[in-house]
C-alpha cells in the first residue's frame, strides 16, 4: 500500500488531502510511522525522529497513530488479496507476497491479475497500492517500489540485466547504510559493481552473505513463499 497510515488519515480527514502529513508521536522521542507523499520531498520518511522531520518540514501536520483503524483497513486489503491467490505471505500490516503460479486460467496473466487487484483495492477501500510482478520475491519487491504511488511494474527475466546493474547496492535486501559503506570501501557502489566483484574476495571482506548478495545482484532468488 502507498504511504498506508498517512493515506488512511487523508482518506478519513479530507482536509488533510494534498498536505504534508506525519503520522506518529509528537514528542521528544517520537518517531515518524509514515510520511505522506507530500512530506517526502522535504526529506521526511518513516522511522525518522519526529523532531528531525519537523525541522525538515515545519508546516507538516502531525497526527497520532490509530492502530485499530489501520488494522481494520489492513483486514479489508488482505480479504481482497485472498481472492487472487491461495498462497499469501504477509510482510507487514500493508504488504504481502502473492504466489500467482497456476492461476492464469482463472485470473488471466499475472499483470492482468495485478491490475484487477489494484482496481479492487481502490474501489472497495479507497486507497492506492503499488504492485511488482516478477519471477521471484526479490524482483517483485523491487518492482513494487519503483513507481510509487499507484504503480504497476512488471519485471521479466529479459529485463534483469538492463534494470539491475545501474541501481545502487542499497536496492538489494539486507544492504543497509552500514553494509553499503563497507562495500563502498571496496569500490562497490552499484549492483553492477557487485556483480563483477570477485566472490572469493567479497567473502573474505563481508563473510557468508557475499554469495547471497551476488545472487540477488543477478536477479536470482529461489526463496518460496511461506503461506500464512
- pLDDT tens digits, 55-68: 999 999 999 999 99
pTM for the predicted model, two decimal places: 0.91
Q: State residue 89's pLDDT score.
A: 96
Q: State residue 20's pLDDT score.
A: 98
Residues marked as catalytic: 95
Spatial neighbors of 93 by CB under 8 A, at least 6 apart, are 4, 70, 71, 74
pLDDT at 228 over 60: no
Amino acid at each position: 500500500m502507498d504511504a498506508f497510515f498517512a493515506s488512511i488519515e487523508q482518506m478519513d480527514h479530507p482536509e488533510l488531502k494534498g498536505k504534508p502529513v506525519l503520522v506518529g508521536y509528537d514528542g521528544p522521542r517520537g518517531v515518524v510511522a509514515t510520511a505522506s507523499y507530500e512530506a517526502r520531498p522535504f526529506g521526511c520518511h518513516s522511522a525518522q525522529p519526529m523532531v528531525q522531520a519537523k525541522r525538515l518540514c515545519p508546516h507538516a501536520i502531525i497526527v497520532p497513530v490509530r492502530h485499530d483503524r489501520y488494522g481494520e483497513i489492513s483486514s479489508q486489503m488482505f480479504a481482497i488479496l485472498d481472492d487472487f491467490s491461495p498462497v499469501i505471505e504477509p510482510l507487514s500490516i500493508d504488504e504481502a507476497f502473492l504466489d500467482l503460479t497456476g492461476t492464469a486460467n482463472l485470473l488471466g496473466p499475472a499483470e492482468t491479475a495485478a491490475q484487477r487487484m489494484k482496481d479492487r483495492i481502490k474501489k472497495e477501500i479507497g486507497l492506492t497500492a503499488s504492485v511488482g510482478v516478477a519471477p521471484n520475491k526479490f524482483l517483485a519487491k523491487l518492482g513494487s517500489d519503483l513507481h510509487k504511488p499507484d504503480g504497476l511494474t512488471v519485471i521479466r527475466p529479459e529485463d534483469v540485466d538492463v534494470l539491475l546493474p545501474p541501481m545502487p547496492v542499497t536496492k538489494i535486501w539486507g544492504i543497509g547504510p552500514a553494509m553499503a559503506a563497507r562495500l563502498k570501501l571496496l569500490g562497490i557502489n552499484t549492483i553492477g559493481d557487485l556483480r563483477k566483484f570477485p566472490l572469493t574476495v567479497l567473502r573474505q571482506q563481508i563473510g557468508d552473505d557475499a554469495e547471497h548478495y551476488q545472487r540477488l545482484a543477478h536477479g536470482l532468488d529461489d526463496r518460496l513463499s511461506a503461506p500464512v
